[in-house]
Amino acid sequence: MRGFETAAQLLAARRMTGTTSSGTVFKKALGHYWVNVDGTNVVCSLSSRLRKVLIYPVADASSLHPRVQDVEEIRVADPVTIGDIVSFVDVGDGTGMIVEVLDRVSALVRGAAGPKPLEQVIVANVDQVVCVVAAARPRPSWELLDRYLVAAEASSLPALVCITKADLLDPAELAGDLRHYEQIGYNVILTSAATGWGIPELTQALAGRVSVLAGKSGVGKTSLLNAVQPGLGLRVNEVSGKTGKGKHTTTHLEMFGLSVGGSVVDTPGMREFALWNVRDRELGSLFPEMRAYLGECRFGADCGHSSEPCCAIKAAVEAGEITMRRYQSYLKLRAECERTRG
Ligand SMILES: Nc1nc2c(ncn2[C@@H]2O[C@H](COP(=O)(O)OP(=O)(O)O)[C@@H](O)[C@H]2O)c(=O)[nH]1
Ligand SMILES: [Mg+2]
Ligand SMILES: [Zn+2]
Protein backbone atom coordinates (compact mmCIF):
# COMPACT_ATOMS: atom_id res chain seq x y z
CA MET A 1 0.00 0.00 0.00
CA ARG A 2 1.28 3.43 -0.85
CA GLY A 3 0.28 5.27 2.28
CA PHE A 4 -3.19 6.27 1.15
CA GLU A 5 -5.91 5.72 3.70
CA THR A 6 -9.04 6.18 1.70
CA ALA A 7 -10.20 5.40 -1.78
CA ALA A 8 -10.78 9.13 -2.32
CA GLN A 9 -7.11 9.95 -1.62
CA LEU A 10 -6.01 7.21 -3.94
CA LEU A 11 -8.24 8.49 -6.70
CA ALA A 12 -7.16 12.11 -6.23
CA ALA A 13 -3.48 11.14 -6.43
CA ARG A 14 -4.09 9.13 -9.56
CA ARG A 15 -5.97 11.99 -11.23
CA MET A 16 -2.97 14.26 -10.87
CA THR A 17 -0.50 11.90 -12.49
CA GLY A 18 -2.50 9.79 -14.89
CA THR A 19 -2.61 10.10 -18.65
CA THR A 20 -5.51 7.66 -18.83
CA SER A 21 -8.87 8.19 -17.13
CA SER A 22 -9.47 6.78 -13.67
CA GLY A 23 -12.61 5.99 -11.78
CA THR A 24 -14.32 3.63 -9.39
CA VAL A 25 -15.90 0.36 -10.46
CA PHE A 26 -19.49 0.45 -9.17
CA LYS A 27 -21.06 -2.48 -10.99
CA LYS A 28 -19.96 -5.54 -12.87
CA ALA A 29 -21.85 -8.09 -14.88
CA LEU A 30 -21.11 -10.46 -17.72
CA GLY A 31 -17.50 -9.42 -18.15
CA HIS A 32 -18.29 -5.72 -18.19
CA TYR A 33 -17.36 -3.18 -15.57
CA TRP A 34 -19.18 0.07 -14.98
CA VAL A 35 -16.77 2.79 -13.96
CA ASN A 36 -17.82 6.08 -12.39
CA VAL A 37 -15.64 9.02 -13.42
CA ASP A 38 -16.78 12.22 -11.70
CA GLY A 39 -20.41 11.21 -12.01
CA THR A 40 -20.13 9.97 -15.60
CA ASN A 41 -20.48 6.25 -16.17
CA VAL A 42 -18.24 4.42 -18.62
CA VAL A 43 -18.71 0.76 -19.49
CA CYS A 44 -15.34 -0.96 -19.64
CA SER A 45 -13.87 -4.29 -20.58
CA LEU A 46 -10.58 -5.73 -19.36
CA SER A 47 -7.49 -5.46 -21.50
CA SER A 48 -6.09 -8.84 -22.41
CA ARG A 49 -2.78 -7.74 -20.92
CA LEU A 50 -4.54 -7.25 -17.61
CA ARG A 51 -6.21 -10.63 -17.89
CA LYS A 52 -2.89 -12.30 -18.45
CA VAL A 53 -0.81 -10.32 -16.04
CA LEU A 54 -3.26 -9.71 -13.27
CA ILE A 55 -4.96 -13.02 -13.01
CA TYR A 56 -3.66 -14.84 -10.00
CA PRO A 57 -5.06 -15.31 -6.52
CA VAL A 58 -6.29 -11.84 -5.77
CA ALA A 59 -4.50 -11.92 -2.42
CA ASP A 60 -1.37 -11.24 -4.42
CA ALA A 61 -2.76 -8.37 -6.44
CA SER A 62 -1.06 -5.72 -4.35
CA SER A 63 2.08 -7.61 -3.43
CA LEU A 64 5.40 -6.77 -5.00
CA HIS A 65 6.00 -10.19 -6.48
CA PRO A 66 2.67 -11.65 -7.48
CA ARG A 67 2.66 -15.33 -8.28
CA VAL A 68 0.70 -16.11 -11.38
CA GLN A 69 -1.47 -19.20 -11.15
CA ASP A 70 -2.13 -21.75 -13.83
CA VAL A 71 -4.75 -21.04 -16.43
CA GLU A 72 -7.29 -23.41 -14.93
CA GLU A 73 -7.79 -21.15 -11.97
CA ILE A 74 -8.08 -18.02 -14.02
CA ARG A 75 -11.68 -18.53 -14.91
CA VAL A 76 -12.94 -18.20 -11.36
CA ALA A 77 -11.00 -15.28 -9.95
CA ASP A 78 -11.84 -11.81 -11.12
CA PRO A 79 -8.98 -9.35 -10.93
CA VAL A 80 -11.36 -6.38 -10.78
CA THR A 81 -14.10 -5.96 -8.21
CA ILE A 82 -16.62 -3.42 -7.00
CA GLY A 83 -14.92 -0.50 -5.31
CA ASP A 84 -11.70 -0.93 -7.24
CA ILE A 85 -10.08 2.18 -8.61
CA VAL A 86 -9.02 1.50 -12.16
CA SER A 87 -7.33 3.29 -15.02
CA PHE A 88 -8.75 2.79 -18.45
CA VAL A 89 -8.13 3.95 -21.99
CA ASP A 90 -10.82 5.26 -24.30
CA VAL A 91 -11.58 2.66 -26.93
CA GLY A 92 -13.17 5.27 -29.17
CA ASP A 93 -16.78 4.10 -29.17
CA GLY A 94 -17.62 5.53 -25.77
CA THR A 95 -16.46 2.45 -23.91
CA GLY A 96 -13.20 1.93 -22.10
CA MET A 97 -10.61 -0.74 -21.58
CA ILE A 98 -9.24 -1.21 -18.08
CA VAL A 99 -5.46 -1.32 -18.10
CA GLU A 100 -4.61 -1.01 -14.42
CA VAL A 101 -6.10 -1.75 -11.02
CA LEU A 102 -4.76 0.43 -8.24
CA ASP A 103 -3.56 -1.03 -4.96
CA ARG A 104 -6.46 -1.60 -2.62
CA VAL A 105 -6.70 0.32 0.61
CA SER A 106 -8.94 -2.40 2.03
CA ALA A 107 -10.80 -5.48 0.87
CA LEU A 108 -13.52 -7.71 2.25
CA VAL A 109 -12.67 -11.24 1.20
CA ARG A 110 -14.03 -14.72 1.56
CA GLY A 111 -13.01 -18.15 0.34
CA ALA A 112 -14.95 -18.94 -2.81
CA ALA A 113 -16.35 -22.45 -2.95
CA GLY A 114 -15.01 -24.80 -5.59
CA PRO A 115 -12.72 -27.76 -6.11
CA LYS A 116 -9.74 -25.51 -5.47
CA PRO A 117 -10.55 -22.78 -2.95
CA LEU A 118 -9.86 -19.29 -4.22
CA GLU A 119 -9.89 -15.91 -2.64
CA GLN A 120 -12.89 -13.90 -3.65
CA VAL A 121 -12.65 -10.20 -3.06
CA ILE A 122 -16.24 -9.17 -2.48
CA VAL A 123 -15.56 -5.48 -2.45
CA ALA A 124 -12.51 -3.23 -2.37
CA ASN A 125 -11.77 0.09 -0.72
CA VAL A 126 -14.70 0.12 1.70
CA ASP A 127 -14.73 1.91 5.06
CA GLN A 128 -17.05 -0.39 6.99
CA VAL A 129 -19.01 -3.62 6.93
CA VAL A 130 -22.69 -3.50 7.88
CA CYS A 131 -23.65 -7.00 9.04
CA VAL A 132 -27.34 -7.44 8.39
CA VAL A 133 -29.37 -9.94 10.43
CA ALA A 134 -33.17 -10.25 10.38
CA ALA A 135 -35.01 -10.33 13.70
CA ALA A 136 -37.18 -13.04 12.13
CA ARG A 137 -37.95 -14.54 8.72
CA PRO A 138 -35.28 -15.79 8.45
CA ARG A 139 -34.32 -16.42 12.08
CA PRO A 140 -31.06 -14.83 13.18
CA SER A 141 -27.96 -16.88 12.55
CA TRP A 142 -25.51 -15.62 15.17
CA GLU A 143 -22.83 -17.91 13.88
CA LEU A 144 -23.03 -16.34 10.43
CA LEU A 145 -22.94 -12.92 12.05
CA ASP A 146 -19.76 -13.93 13.90
CA ARG A 147 -18.24 -15.00 10.59
CA TYR A 148 -18.91 -11.61 9.05
CA LEU A 149 -17.56 -9.85 12.12
CA VAL A 150 -14.39 -11.95 12.13
CA ALA A 151 -13.93 -11.39 8.37
CA ALA A 152 -14.25 -7.65 8.96
CA GLU A 153 -11.72 -7.81 11.81
CA ALA A 154 -9.37 -9.83 9.60
CA SER A 155 -9.58 -7.07 6.99
CA SER A 156 -9.16 -4.37 9.67
CA LEU A 157 -12.54 -2.97 8.73
CA PRO A 158 -14.91 -1.54 11.33
CA ALA A 159 -18.21 -3.42 11.48
CA LEU A 160 -21.65 -2.65 12.78
CA VAL A 161 -24.64 -4.90 13.32
CA CYS A 162 -27.95 -3.97 11.74
CA ILE A 163 -31.03 -5.91 12.78
CA THR A 164 -33.84 -5.74 10.22
CA LYS A 165 -37.56 -6.59 10.34
CA ALA A 166 -37.79 -5.46 13.96
CA ASP A 167 -41.55 -5.12 13.37
CA LEU A 168 -41.86 -8.92 13.25
CA LEU A 169 -40.73 -9.48 16.82
CA ASP A 170 -40.98 -8.00 20.28
CA PRO A 171 -37.55 -6.31 20.46
CA ALA A 172 -37.24 -7.52 24.07
CA GLU A 173 -36.77 -11.03 22.71
CA LEU A 174 -33.49 -10.10 21.10
CA ALA A 175 -32.30 -7.66 23.75
CA GLY A 176 -30.00 -10.15 25.50
CA ASP A 177 -28.29 -11.27 22.30
CA LEU A 178 -27.82 -7.72 21.10
CA ARG A 179 -26.46 -6.48 24.41
CA HIS A 180 -23.64 -9.00 24.12
CA TYR A 181 -22.55 -7.57 20.80
CA GLU A 182 -22.77 -4.06 22.19
CA GLN A 183 -20.66 -5.07 25.17
CA ILE A 184 -18.00 -6.37 22.79
CA GLY A 185 -18.00 -2.89 21.27
CA TYR A 186 -20.06 -3.26 18.13
CA ASN A 187 -22.63 -0.63 17.29
CA VAL A 188 -26.03 -2.36 16.98
CA ILE A 189 -28.88 -0.67 15.11
CA LEU A 190 -32.41 -2.04 15.26
CA THR A 191 -34.39 -1.26 12.12
CA SER A 192 -37.55 -1.97 10.20
CA ALA A 193 -37.96 -1.00 6.59
CA ALA A 194 -41.68 -1.62 7.06
CA THR A 195 -42.21 0.91 9.86
CA GLY A 196 -39.18 3.14 9.38
CA TRP A 197 -37.73 2.34 12.82
CA GLY A 198 -34.03 2.97 13.07
CA ILE A 199 -33.71 4.24 9.53
CA PRO A 200 -32.43 7.70 10.62
CA GLU A 201 -29.78 6.03 12.83
CA LEU A 202 -28.70 3.75 10.02
CA THR A 203 -28.62 6.64 7.54
CA GLN A 204 -26.36 8.52 9.92
CA ALA A 205 -24.04 5.53 10.22
CA LEU A 206 -23.80 5.27 6.43
CA ALA A 207 -23.39 8.97 5.68
CA GLY A 208 -20.06 9.93 4.16
CA ARG A 209 -18.66 6.40 4.24
CA VAL A 210 -18.31 3.55 1.79
CA SER A 211 -20.16 0.60 3.28
CA VAL A 212 -20.86 -2.95 2.23
CA LEU A 213 -23.96 -4.80 3.39
CA ALA A 214 -23.23 -8.38 4.40
CA GLY A 215 -26.12 -10.68 5.07
CA LYS A 216 -27.82 -13.65 3.60
CA SER A 217 -30.49 -13.40 0.98
CA GLY A 218 -33.91 -12.38 2.27
CA VAL A 219 -32.83 -10.57 5.44
CA GLY A 220 -33.97 -7.27 3.94
CA LYS A 221 -30.80 -5.59 2.70
CA THR A 222 -32.35 -4.16 -0.43
CA SER A 223 -35.48 -3.02 1.42
CA LEU A 224 -33.22 -1.27 3.90
CA LEU A 225 -31.45 0.67 1.16
CA ASN A 226 -34.78 1.66 -0.35
CA ALA A 227 -35.84 2.93 3.08
CA VAL A 228 -32.60 4.87 3.56
CA GLN A 229 -32.95 6.46 0.16
CA PRO A 230 -36.44 6.35 -1.29
CA GLY A 231 -36.13 6.34 -5.04
CA LEU A 232 -33.18 4.01 -5.31
CA GLY A 233 -35.77 1.62 -6.72
CA LEU A 234 -33.84 -1.56 -6.01
CA ARG A 235 -35.54 -4.86 -6.64
CA VAL A 236 -36.75 -6.59 -3.50
CA ASN A 237 -36.64 -10.37 -3.18
CA GLU A 238 -39.66 -12.50 -2.53
CA VAL A 239 -39.10 -14.70 0.48
CA SER A 240 -40.41 -18.20 -0.10
CA GLY A 241 -43.49 -18.72 2.08
CA LYS A 242 -42.60 -22.33 2.69
CA THR A 243 -39.01 -22.08 3.81
CA GLY A 244 -38.72 -18.45 4.88
CA LYS A 245 -35.51 -18.37 2.85
CA GLY A 246 -34.77 -15.67 0.33
CA LYS A 247 -34.57 -16.55 -3.30
CA HIS A 248 -31.49 -15.33 -5.08
CA THR A 249 -32.77 -12.88 -7.64
CA THR A 250 -29.92 -10.41 -7.72
CA THR A 251 -26.94 -11.77 -9.55
CA HIS A 252 -24.49 -8.94 -9.37
CA LEU A 253 -22.99 -6.61 -6.82
CA GLU A 254 -23.63 -2.95 -7.18
CA MET A 255 -22.51 0.20 -5.42
CA PHE A 256 -25.00 3.03 -4.94
CA GLY A 257 -24.23 6.64 -4.16
CA LEU A 258 -26.17 8.10 -1.22
CA SER A 259 -27.58 11.62 -1.19
CA VAL A 260 -26.24 12.01 2.37
CA GLY A 261 -22.76 11.32 1.01
CA GLY A 262 -20.92 8.05 0.80
CA SER A 263 -22.05 4.91 -0.95
CA VAL A 264 -23.28 1.43 -0.21
CA VAL A 265 -22.60 -1.89 -1.85
CA ASP A 266 -25.63 -4.17 -1.81
CA THR A 267 -24.73 -7.84 -2.09
CA PRO A 268 -27.02 -10.50 -3.49
CA GLY A 269 -26.68 -12.45 -0.27
CA MET A 270 -23.94 -14.43 1.36
CA ARG A 271 -25.29 -17.57 2.90
CA GLU A 272 -21.86 -19.14 2.95
CA PHE A 273 -18.91 -17.23 4.13
CA ALA A 274 -15.65 -19.09 4.49
CA LEU A 275 -12.83 -17.19 6.11
CA TRP A 276 -9.83 -16.69 3.88
CA ASN A 277 -6.20 -16.52 4.89
CA VAL A 278 -6.92 -16.43 8.61
CA ARG A 279 -4.37 -18.48 10.51
CA ASP A 280 -5.69 -20.51 13.42
CA ARG A 281 -3.19 -18.83 15.75
CA GLU A 282 -4.48 -15.36 14.98
CA LEU A 283 -8.18 -16.22 15.14
CA GLY A 284 -8.55 -15.39 18.84
CA SER A 285 -7.34 -11.85 18.21
CA LEU A 286 -10.20 -11.38 15.73
CA PHE A 287 -12.67 -11.76 18.62
CA PRO A 288 -12.25 -8.37 20.34
CA GLU A 289 -13.49 -9.65 23.70
CA MET A 290 -10.78 -12.36 23.71
CA ARG A 291 -7.86 -10.03 23.14
CA ALA A 292 -7.33 -9.14 26.80
CA TYR A 293 -6.83 -12.82 27.69
CA LEU A 294 -4.52 -13.86 24.88
CA GLY A 295 -1.10 -14.77 26.15
CA GLU A 296 -2.38 -15.58 29.64
CA CYS A 297 -2.94 -19.24 28.87
CA ARG A 298 -0.41 -21.74 30.17
CA PHE A 299 0.64 -22.58 26.62
CA GLY A 300 0.70 -18.94 25.61
CA ALA A 301 0.33 -18.33 21.89
CA ASP A 302 0.29 -22.10 21.29
CA CYS A 303 -2.98 -22.49 23.17
CA GLY A 304 -5.88 -23.38 20.90
CA HIS A 305 -8.31 -22.53 23.74
CA SER A 306 -10.11 -25.83 23.32
CA SER A 307 -8.82 -28.82 25.33
CA GLU A 308 -5.64 -27.26 26.74
CA PRO A 309 -5.31 -26.98 30.53
CA CYS A 310 -5.15 -23.61 32.28
CA CYS A 311 -6.67 -21.70 29.39
CA ALA A 312 -7.50 -18.07 30.14
CA ILE A 313 -10.14 -17.96 27.41
CA LYS A 314 -12.00 -20.97 28.78
CA ALA A 315 -11.80 -19.50 32.28
CA ALA A 316 -13.30 -16.27 30.92
CA VAL A 317 -16.12 -18.24 29.31
CA GLU A 318 -16.81 -20.00 32.60
CA ALA A 319 -16.78 -16.67 34.41
CA GLY A 320 -19.29 -15.29 31.90
CA GLU A 321 -16.86 -12.69 30.55
CA ILE A 322 -17.03 -14.25 27.10
CA THR A 323 -20.35 -15.70 25.95
CA MET A 324 -20.61 -19.41 25.28
CA ARG A 325 -22.11 -18.65 21.87
CA ARG A 326 -19.18 -16.54 20.72
CA TYR A 327 -16.79 -19.13 22.12
CA GLN A 328 -18.55 -21.82 20.11
CA SER A 329 -18.28 -19.66 16.98
CA TYR A 330 -14.58 -19.39 17.74
CA LEU A 331 -14.19 -23.19 18.04
CA LYS A 332 -16.06 -23.79 14.81
CA LEU A 333 -14.01 -21.24 12.87
CA ARG A 334 -10.83 -22.54 14.45
CA ALA A 335 -11.57 -26.07 13.22
CA GLU A 336 -12.13 -24.63 9.74
CA CYS A 337 -8.88 -22.69 9.78
CA GLU A 338 -7.03 -25.87 10.75
CA ARG A 339 -8.69 -27.87 7.98
CA THR A 340 -7.93 -25.36 5.24
CA ARG A 341 -4.35 -24.76 6.36
CA GLY A 342 -3.27 -27.23 3.69
N1 LIG B 1 -42.00 -7.40 7.91
C2 LIG B 1 -40.93 -6.92 7.25
N3 LIG B 1 -40.57 -7.46 6.06
C4 LIG B 1 -39.49 -6.97 5.42
C5 LIG B 1 -38.74 -5.88 5.96
N6 LIG B 1 -37.73 -5.63 5.13
C7 LIG B 1 -37.84 -6.51 4.10
N8 LIG B 1 -38.89 -7.32 4.28
C9 LIG B 1 -39.32 -8.39 3.36
O10 LIG B 1 -38.31 -9.38 3.31
C11 LIG B 1 -38.19 -9.89 1.99
C12 LIG B 1 -36.74 -9.80 1.50
O13 LIG B 1 -36.37 -8.44 1.39
P14 LIG B 1 -35.11 -7.96 0.51
O15 LIG B 1 -34.95 -6.51 0.80
O16 LIG B 1 -35.24 -8.33 -0.91
O17 LIG B 1 -33.94 -8.81 1.16
P18 LIG B 1 -32.44 -9.02 0.61
O19 LIG B 1 -32.44 -10.31 -0.11
O20 LIG B 1 -31.59 -9.08 1.84
O21 LIG B 1 -32.09 -7.85 -0.25
C22 LIG B 1 -39.20 -9.13 1.14
O23 LIG B 1 -40.35 -9.90 1.00
C24 LIG B 1 -39.46 -7.89 1.95
O25 LIG B 1 -40.74 -7.36 1.69
C26 LIG B 1 -39.18 -5.30 7.21
O27 LIG B 1 -38.60 -4.38 7.76
N28 LIG B 1 -40.27 -5.87 7.80
MG1 LIG C 1 -31.25 -7.85 -2.19
ZN1 LIG D 1 -6.17 -20.71 25.85
Which homologous superfamily is 128-266 in? P-loop containing nucleotide triphosphate hydrolases (3.40.50.300)
Taking the CA of residue 195 as reference, the ligand 1 atom at the shortest distance is: 27
With 0-12 / 13-18 / 19 or more C-beta atoms within 10 angstroms meaning exposed / middle / buried, residue 148 is buried
Q: Which residues surround ligand 2, an ion (CB under 5 A)?
A: 221-222, 250
How much distance in Å is there from the Cα of 184 to the middle of ligand 3? Answer: 19
Task: Report pLDDT digits (tens) over 137-166.
Answer: 999 999 999 999 999 999 999 999 999 999
Residue 76 has pLDDT above 50, yes or no: no
Task: Report pLDDT digits (tens) over 20-33.
Answer: 899 999 998 888 99
Amino acid at 212: V
Region 7-106: CATH code = 2.40.50.140
Strand partners, 266: 254
Ligand nearest to the CA of 250: 2
Residues within a 6 A CB radius of ligand 1? 164-165, 167-168, 192-194, 215, 217-223, 236-239, 246, 269
Residue 80 has pLDDT above 50, yes or no: yes
Nearest residue (by CA) to ligand 1, atom 9, is 220
Every domain of the chain and the residues it spans: 7-106, 128-266, 280-339
Cα–Cα nearest to 125, from 102, 99, 159, 96? 102
Which of 236, 238, 245, 271 for a ligand 1 pocket mutation test, highest count of atoms within 8 Å of Cβ? Answer: 236
The CATH architecture to which 280-339 belongs is: Orthogonal Bundle (1.10)
How much distance in Å is there from the Cα of 202 to the middle of ligand 2? Answer: 17
How much distance in Å is there from the Cα of 201 to the middle of ligand 1? Answer: 19
Mean pLDDT within 256-267: 92
- CA atoms of 155 and 133, how far apart (whole Å): 20
Q: What is the pLDDT of residue 248?
A: 42
Count the residues in the chain: 342
**Full-model pTM:** 0.85
